[in-house]
């Protein structure tokens, strides 16, 4: 009986150890599966967030040029204006219109016109890169730029950089060398006034029309347009 009792004790201990081993292995496998599933869920959430981010960004972008669109510019400019007022710093606007663009479309076709628009958007963006500017396609062949912390003389200098950048070399479009120039209107906002973005755009637009009236391929300010 003693030997049987000892044998049963050993057998019980072995079964208990085997059971603990099985339980531990099952727990480890479960933990691995949970960790794997958790990582998969995190990865899926990150991909979903990235997709939402791309979707949000695409809704802000112009499909042809890749620049911000007019709606997004309005929203971003409102924030820039509030910040400029809070910091008592200047904020300037550039209205840029490509000269005689209808003639390019009529003479070379709209595909060439689209290539010219993309080329101009790239050239303008490159010229503005050092100036922390907000650039958007305003519509058609027109672009709008917000220049933070730039007073009127500084904004005019930036506008002149943009104008010269466009005229330095022709655009290659559909096998043609297309010379592109732009008329640019410049306006510096009085941040102490209660003018909103529409008021500022209207003044900058008048400066743009003054540039067109003065022969195009030039820069004019809201003061010279008054």
Residues 142-189 pLDDT 10s: 999 999 999 999 999 999 999 999 999 999 999 999 999 999 999 999
- Is residue 26 very low, low, confident or very high in pLDDT (cuts 50, 70, 90)? confident
Is residue 29 predicted with pLDDT exceeding 90? Answer: no
Residue 45 has pLDDT above 70, yes or no: no
Whether the predicted model's global pTM rises above the 0.85 cut: no
Average pLDDT, rounded, for the chain: 87
pLDDT in tens, 53-85: 565 666 789 989 999 999 999 999 999 999 999
Average pLDDT for 97-108: 94
pLDDT surpasses 90 at 37: no
User: Which pLDDT value is given to residue 54?
Assistant: 60
φ, ψ (nearest 5 deg) of residue 65? -95, -20
Rounded CA gap, 81 and 114, in Å? 32
Which helix (H) or strand (E) segment holds residue 53: the answer is helix 2-60
Which is the catalytic residue, given 141, 142, 160, 202? 141
Rounded to an integer, what distance in angstroms lies between the CA atom of residue 191 and that of residue 34?
Answer: 56
Cβ pair 189, 78 in contact under 8 A: no
Q: Measured between alpha carbons, how far is 20 from 18 in angstroms, rounded to an integer? A: 5
Identify the residue with better confidence: 9 or 221. 221
Q: Which two tokens stand for residue 219?
A: 């820069």
Q: Is the distance from CB of 93 to CB of 201 less than 8 angstroms?
A: yes
DSSP 196: -
Please check the confidence at residue 193 and state whether its pLDDT lies above 90.
no
pLDDT, residue 51, reads 60
Which pLDDT score, from 0 to 100, does residue 98 have?
A: 97
DSSP state of 137: E
Confidence of residue 31 (pLDDT cuts 50, 70, 90): confident
- pLDDT value for 190: 86
Let me know if 141 is a catalytic residue.
yes
Q: What is the pLDDT of residue 192?
A: 79
């Amino acid at each position: 009986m003693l030997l049987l009792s000892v044998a049963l004790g050993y057998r019980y201990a072995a079964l208990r150890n085997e059971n603990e081993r099985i339980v531990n292995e099952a727990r480890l496998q479960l933990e691995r599966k949970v960790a794997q599933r958790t990582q998969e869920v995190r990865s899926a959430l990150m991909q979903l967030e990235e997709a939402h981010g791309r979707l949000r960004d695409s809704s802000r972008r112009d499909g042809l040029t890749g620049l911000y669109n007019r709606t997004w510019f309005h929203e971003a400019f409102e924030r820039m204006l509030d910040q400029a007022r809070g910091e008592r710093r200047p904020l300037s606007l550039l209205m840029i219109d490509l000269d005689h663009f209808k003639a390019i479309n009529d003479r070379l076709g709209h595909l060439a016109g689209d290539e010219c628009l993309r080329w101009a958007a790239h050239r303008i963006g490159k010229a503005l890169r050092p100036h922390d500017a907000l650039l958007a396609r305003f519509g058609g062949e027109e672009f709008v730029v917000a220049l933070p912390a730039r007073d009127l003389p500084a904004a005019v200098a930036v506008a002149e950089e943009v104008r010269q950048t466009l005229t330095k070399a022709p655009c290659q479009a559909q096998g043609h060398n297309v010379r592109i120039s732009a008329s640019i209107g410049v306006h510096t906002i009085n941040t102490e006034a209660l003018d909103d973005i529409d008021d500022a755009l209207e003044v900058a637009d008048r400066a743009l029309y003054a540039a067109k009236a003065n022969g195009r391929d030039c820069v004019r300010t809201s003061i010279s347009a008054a």
